[in-house]
Structure 1
C-alpha cells in the first residue's frame, strides 16, 4: 500500500511537471501568433514559426502542436511540421478554458495533451500541444522499481530487526521459563534470580512461593507423623489388653480396635500422600525404581517369573516423589505376585500427545493368575476390601494405589490380562 501511494504521488507530480513544460510551449505559440501592432487592429494572427523546440519540426517526432478556430468546429489553422499533415487525435475542448489529458499521436504513440483556449482580437483559438509519454512512463516505471526494491530491502531489514529484538529481548523470559522447568522437573531447588530488573522481582516471588509450599508440606508431614504416633500407641495398648482378656467383650474390643487401626492407617496414608502431591518441582526416574522392585519381587517370590517386558523409554521421569512411585508400583507388583500362577509381566510406555492432553505414562502389570470378574474388579479398589481371606494382607493395596494415582491426576484401571489373569493399568504424570 505504501509503495502504491508513493508511485501514485510521483506520477501525479510528474504529470504536473509535464503539463507545466507544455504550458511553456503554449505561451510560446501564443506569443508567435500575436499580430504585428504596426499592421493595425484588424491585422490577422501570425503563423507560429519558432516555438523553441526543434522536435516540433521533425516528422513524427512525438512532439506536436496545432492551432484551431474555436468557433468553427475547432478547424485546424496552423500545425507543426512534425505532424506532416496527419491529424492529432484528441477530444474537442468544448466550453472548457483548458484541459490536460492523454491522447494518440500520428504514430499511434501515447501523448500527453495540453489544450488552452485564448482570444486574439475578435476571434478565439484553441492551442493544443502534445508530447510523447514514453520517457515519462519510463521514469515512472524506474521510480516504481526503485520503490519496490527499497521497500523490500527496508521490509527485510525491519523483519530482521524485529526478529533480533524479539530473540534478544525475550531471552530473559526464555531463561526464566527454562529455570522454572528445571524446578518443575526436580533438577533445581529454586529459580535463577539473575535476571533483568523487570523480571527479577517475579523470580523472587516465585522462589518465595516454592519455599512457602515446601514449608507447608514439611509441617503437614510433621503433623501427620505426630498424629500417627499419638493414635497408634493407645490403639496398640487397647489391642494388647483385649488379647490378654477373654470373653465376647474382649473379642469385640479387639475387632473394633483392628478396624480403627485400619481406618487410621488408610486416612493417615491419604493425608501423607496429599501433602506430598503438593510439592513443587519433585520428580524421579522411573527405570531405577521399577528395576529395583522387579529384582526384589523376584527374590521374595522365587517361584514367580517377574520380568520387565518392554525397554524403558529414555529419560522417563515420574512427576512426583520416588517414595510414592515405589508404593504405587510396589503394591501392584506385590498383588500380582501373590495371585500369579507363575508369571508377572511389567510394561512401561510413554503416552503420545494424541492420547493425552498432558505428559503421561502408563505402567501395566499383568499376571497369569485366576483374575477377577467385572464386579470383583470394582470391589477390589474399595479400601480394606479383601476378596480372599486366605491370602495375607490388609486389603488396602489397590485402594491406596487408586487414591494416590487420583491425587497425582492419574488413574488405576483393572481389566483382563492377555496372559489370563489380572491386568492393572496405572496412568501417571511424567516430565
Structure 2
C-alpha cells in the first residue's frame, strides 16, 4: 500500500438496540393519553370477544333450530307412512312444505328399505337426482352435511324406523344451508356494526371522562404555575379530596422554600450585626494611639465573641438544613422513655415521680437529635422546678383523618410562673432565678428548634393552676407512613 494512500475509515459500530423503546414511548405519553389508550385497547378487546361469542351463540342456536325443523319433517314422514301397513307403508305427501314439491328446491326427503337399501319413496324436489348419503350407524340416527345434487351444502338428518317386528326403513330429510349461512353472515355484520357504534360511543365517553376527571389536575398545574410566576402566594386547595393532600404538601413546600430564603437572609443579617461590634472594637484597638499597643486580651475576648456568634448561627443553619431533609422521622416514645430514665438518674436525690403517655405509632417528622434537644430541655427544666412530680404526655392533631401534628406536654407541680414571667422565660439567656444552675438558654433553644419545624412553644399554668405546663407543637406522622 502506498504511503500516500489514505487509511481506511473504521466501520461505524452498529447502534445497540433499545430494549426499552416501547417503554420510553409509553413514558412520553401524557397521563390522559395513557388512560385513553389503555381504555380503548381494553374496550376493543372486550367488544371483539363479545362479538365472537354472540355470533357463535347465534350460529349454534340457528343450527339447533334447523335440526329441530328437520326432526319435525322426519316425524311427519313417519306419521304419513304409518297410514299403511308395515309391509306396505303409505307414501308421504309434501309434509306441509311446498319446497319438497319444487324440483331442485334444495329441500329433499327419501325413504329406503331398511333391509335391502332400495329406494322406496322420494320427494318430487329430487326430480330424478340422488342424495349421496353417508352410512347410517347402528344407533339409528345421524346428522351430517352432504353436497347438494345441484351444488351447495345440505344438512341431513337420517333415522332408522321399525314398523312392527320386522319392517325397517331408513328415512332421510335434507335442507339447504345457504339461507342459514346467509343469515349468520348478516347477523355477524349487524353485530360488528352495532359493536363498532358502541365502541365509538365508549371511546367518546372515555375521552370525556378522562378530560373531566383530569380537569382538577390541570387546575392544580395552573395554580402551581401561578405561584411560580408570583401571581399567587399559595396553591389553591379547593380540589377533590384525592388531590387536596397533594395541594397541602405543595403549599407546605412553597412555605418551606420561603422560610429557607427568609431564614438565610435573617441569619446573614444577624451574623453581620453580631460581628459588627466585635470587629469595630478590634479595629479601634489596632488603629488606636500607638498602633502597636493594642490590648491583646480585649482582641482575644472579641474574637471569642465572634467565634461564639459564628457557631451559634452555624448551628441554627444546621437545624434548618436538617428540617428540610425529606423522609426523616423519629419514633417519639423511645426518645421520651430514654430521657425520663436519664433524668431520674440525674435527679435521683429528689425522688421525682415521672409519668409518660404516648399514643402508639406516633413519629416525629424530623431528626431524633432535635427531638431529644427539645424534650430534654423541657424535662430538665421541669425537674429543676418541680416539687415531686413531672408528667410527660403526647397528644395528636389530625386533619381529615391524617396525623399532621403532635403536641408534647411537660408539666411539673412546682411554684409556676406569672404571665409576665412566662413571657420572659422564653427569651435567650433570661434566667428568672439565679439560685438554680443553668445558662438560661434551655427554653429559648426549644423556641428556636420548634420554629425550625414550623412549631411553637407555649407556657401555661399546670393542673389546677399549680406548677407549669410547657406545650410544644411539632410535625408528626403515623408509623406505617414512615415505613415502620
Question: Is 1:171 paired with 2:215?
Answer: yes
Question: Is 1:152 paired with 2:200?
Answer: no
Match of 1:5 in 2: 53
Query: Map of 1:4-153 to 2, 5 A cutoff?
Result: 4-36=52-84, 43-72=87-116, 74-121=117-164, 122-153=166-197
Tell me, in whole angstroms, the C-alpha distance in 2 between the residues paired with 1:70 and 1:252: 139
Query: Map of 1:201-220 to 2, 5 A cutoff?
Result: 202-204=246-248, 206-215=250-259, 217-220=261-264
Query: Map of 1:332-343 to 2, 5 A cutoff?
Result: none
Tell me, in whole angstroms, the C-alpha distance in 2 between the residues paired with 1:277 and 1:184: 22
Map Cα deviations across residues 139-166 of structure 1 (whole Å, 9 max, x no partner): 1111101100000000110110011011
SS at match of 2:71: helix
Gaps (5+ residues) in structure 1?
A: 281-431
Q: What TM-score do the two structures reach when normalised by structure 1?
A: 0.54
Q: Is the contact made by 2:87 and 2:167 (CA closer than 8 Å) also made in structure 1?
A: no
Match of 1:291 in 2: none
Residue 7 of structure 1 and its aligned partner are, at CA, apart by 0.3
Tell me, in whole angstroms, the C-alpha distance in 2 between the residues paired with 1:31 and 1:235: 129
Query: Map of 1:308-319 to 2, 5 A cutoff?
Result: none
Q: What TM-score do the two structures reach when normalised by structure 2?
A: 0.49
Match of 2:29 in 1: none
Residue 35 of structure 1 and its aligned partner are, at CA, apart by 4.9
| Residue-pair matches, total | 274
Match of 1:189 in 2: 233
Gaps (5+ residues) in structure 2?
A: 1-48, 325-484
Tell me, in whole angstroms, the C-alpha distance in 1 between the residues paired with 2:91 and 2:158: 18
Tell me, in whole angstroms, the C-alpha distance in 1 between the residues paired with 2:154 and 2:241: 67
Residue 85 of structure 1 and its aligned partner are, at CA, apart by 2.4
Q: Is the contact made by 1:102 and 1:113 (CA closer than 8 Å) also made in structure 2?
A: yes
Tell me, in whole angstroms, the C-alpha distance in 2 between the residues paired with 1:53 and 1:239: 128
Match of 1:424 in 2: none
C-alpha change, 1:249 and 1:27, in structure 2 (3 Å) is: farther
Map Cα deviations across residues 84-112 of structure 1 (whole Å, 9 max, x no partner): 22221232221233232222110111111
SS at match of 1:108: coil
Which stretch of structure 1 is more off in the superposition, 164-173 or 179-188? 179-188
SS at match of 1:87: coil
Residue 114 of structure 1 and its aligned partner are, at CA, apart by 1.6
Match of 2:283 in 1: 239
Tell me, in whole angstroms, the C-alpha distance in 2 between the residues paired with 1:229 and 1:71: 127
C-alpha change, 1:210 and 1:274, in structure 2 (3 Å) is: farther
C-alpha change, 1:249 and 1:141, in structure 2 (3 Å) is: farther
C-alpha change, 1:147 and 1:270, in structure 2 (3 Å) is: farther
C-alpha change, 1:220 and 1:94, in structure 2 (3 Å) is: same
Tell me, in whole angstroms, the C-alpha distance in 1 between the residues paired with 2:292 and 2:172: 133
Match of 1:358 in 2: none
Residue 241 of structure 1 and its aligned partner are, at CA, apart by 1.3
Q: Is the contact made by 1:221 and 1:272 (CA closer than 8 Å) also made in structure 2?
A: no
Tell me, in whole angstroms, the C-alpha distance in 2 between the residues paired with 1:59 and 1:120: 30
Tell me, in whole angstroms, the C-alpha distance in 1 between the residues paired with 2:124 and 2:86: 27
Residue 232 of structure 1 and its aligned partner are, at CA, apart by 3.0
Residue 274 of structure 1 and its aligned partner are, at CA, apart by 10
C-alpha change, 1:42 and 1:134, in structure 2 (3 Å) is: closer
Which stretch of structure 1 is more off in the superposition, 222-231 or 262-271? 262-271
Residue 213 of structure 1 and its aligned partner are, at CA, apart by 4.5
Q: Is the contact made by 1:224 and 1:268 (CA closer than 8 Å) also made in structure 2?
A: no
Q: Is the contact made by 2:55 and 2:188 (CA closer than 8 Å) also made in structure 1?
A: yes
Q: Is the contact made by 2:237 and 2:248 (CA closer than 8 Å) also made in structure 1?
A: yes
